[in-house]
Amino acid sequence: MRIPYGTTGLELKRDVSGAEVLESAIGTLKAQASEDDLVRQAMANPIGSPTLRQLAQGKKTATIIISDHTRPVPSKHILPFMLEELRQGNPDIDITLLIATGFHRPTTHEELVNKVGEKIANEEKFVCHDSRDAESNVEIGVLPSGAKLVIDKVAAQTDLLVAEGFIEPHFFAGFSGGRKSILPGVCDQVTVLGNHCAKFIDSPYARTGILEGNPLHNDMVAAAKLAKLQYIVNVVIDEDKHVAAAFAGDPFQAHEQGCAFLKGYCRVKPEKKGDIVLTSNGGAPLDQNVYQSVKGLTAAEAAAAPGAVLIISARCNDGTGGESFYRALRDCSSLDELMDRILATPMDKTDPDQWEYQILCRMMRKHRIIFVSDPAMQQTLEEMKLEYAPDLDTALDRAFADKGPDAHLVLIPNGISVIVEP
């Protein structure tokens, strides 16, 4: 069996014929039309909403929230049709494309060209959201959690606010897409940090594939409503990152239908919890650092028995992925001390990256975690109180020595592509 790792993958030489294998069915997802046609069809039949053409009528300004360079949204197959419909409904409408960077760095022009194409990148008006620039953001309300909702002025002051995006499983928001275009997409850091607070991340409902009862999702929905997000075009992509299905219309109804559709392909259920669970972060570029690899580990966590050994194949050629993330685990006197400190942190004092090391700390307190990674990462991983192994077979040998020769092995080749249900 080959497990994703970097751009090459890793060979599993050990006999694992008795293992339980959990894989998503995304590979069976076959588009019924071209990427462009799927988007056009969805926009021609919006869910719970007038068409974008109708929404544009009588509006002076429109803002399309677009995803940034960190998301594989096939914008070249979405934006041309959104722009076309807006101008068909109102030829004089003033359109701004607002790049939803969330808490990330700004998108470069080169990245923008790669994402939307030369024509749109050079002819349309763009604004890159900056969550750290208080002057470019404005408070528009208070969320159910009590956090201030502070969003980009471009989004707050437009006559018509719409968004593109894609839907995939998300390890604490349940799913990406829909309401996430607003929060964290175009929110000020005070709102993003409040939403990702320790109390919310600690919720048992802040998990992959869960929306109902998820406190992060609830605040995100409220943010989208307060921001008056009126219309979305969200897509589901296949393994080659091509549009496989599209959902357009009301931001909440269209998103819910998209999530339900995707869940049918991603949902897996172990027959028996694993004493040993081996997974990956899907290979490059998603396994480039330890920070990102937390996502794949949460799939292993969901399929694991108490005290199980979790093994993740992640090259981590770009290091830890965040200095505060690395230092939190390196410098804590114990994992219990770190978790107590995190849980005592008020919403308005949330540290950047806190949610990532909180989730990793949660798993480390319950499980032995082994990273099969770049040899250059051994010392760093051990400083973070994680274990390094040079290859999958060595990691499995250690795990079976720990859990016994009859231990139940669960293999999840791609941890970020599944929703593991109990």
Question: DSSP assignment of 194-244, as one string?
Answer: HHT-HHHHTSTTSSTT--TT-HHHHHHHHHHHHTTEEEEEEEEE-TTS-EE
Domain that holds residue 131: 28-266
Compute the average pLDDT of residues 232-240.
92
pLDDT-based confidence at residue 128 (cuts at 50, 70, 90): very high
CATH code at position 252? 3.40.50.11440
Query: Strand 409-412 to strand 20-21: parallel, antiparallel, or no bridges (unpaired)?
Result: parallel
Residue 47 DSSP code: B
- Supply the DSSP string of 181-193, one letter for each residue: GTTTTTB-HHHHH
Q: Do 214 and 351 have their domain in common?
A: no
113-125 mean pLDDT = 95
Q: How far apart are CA 113 and CA 23, in angstroms?
A: 34
Question: According to the model, what pLDDT value does residue 69 have?
Answer: 84
Residues 215 and 314 in one domain: no
Question: Could you tell me if 331 and 257 lie in one domain?
Answer: no
The whole-number average pLDDT for the span 373-389 is 98
Residues known to be catalytic: 104, 170
Q: Which of 225, 248, 266 is a domain's end point?
A: 266
Whether residue 352 sits in one domain with residue 275: yes
pLDDT in tens, 4-54: 999 999 999 999 989 999 999 988 888 889 999 999 999 999 999 999 999
The DSSP code for 58 is T
Q: Are residues 305 and 251 in the same domain?
A: no
What total number of domains does the chain contain? 2
CATH code of the domain in which 336 resides: 3.90.226.30
Instruction: Please list the alpha-helical segments (H only) found in 335-391.
Output: 335-343, 354-366, 378-383
pLDDT digits (tens, 9 = 90+) for 242-296: 999 999 999 999 999 999 999 999 999 999 999 999 999 999 888 999 999 999 9
Same domain, 78 and 142: yes
DSSP three-state, residue 303? coil
**Model confidence pLDDT, tens digit, residues 269-281:** 999 999 999 999 9
Q: Are residues 376 and 256 in the same domain?
A: no
Amino acid code (one letter) for 195: N
84/223 same-domain check: yes
220, 244, 266 - which closes a domain? 266
Query: pTM value?
Result: 0.94
Both 221 and 367 in one domain: the answer is no
Kindly state whether residues 155 and 76 are assigned to the same domain: yes
Q: Are 224 and 23 in contact (CB under 8 A)?
A: no
Report the Cα–Cα distance between both ends of the chain, in Å, rounded. Answer: 25
The CA radius of gyration of the chain, in Å to the nearest whole number, is: 22
Residues 6, 71, single domain; the answer is no
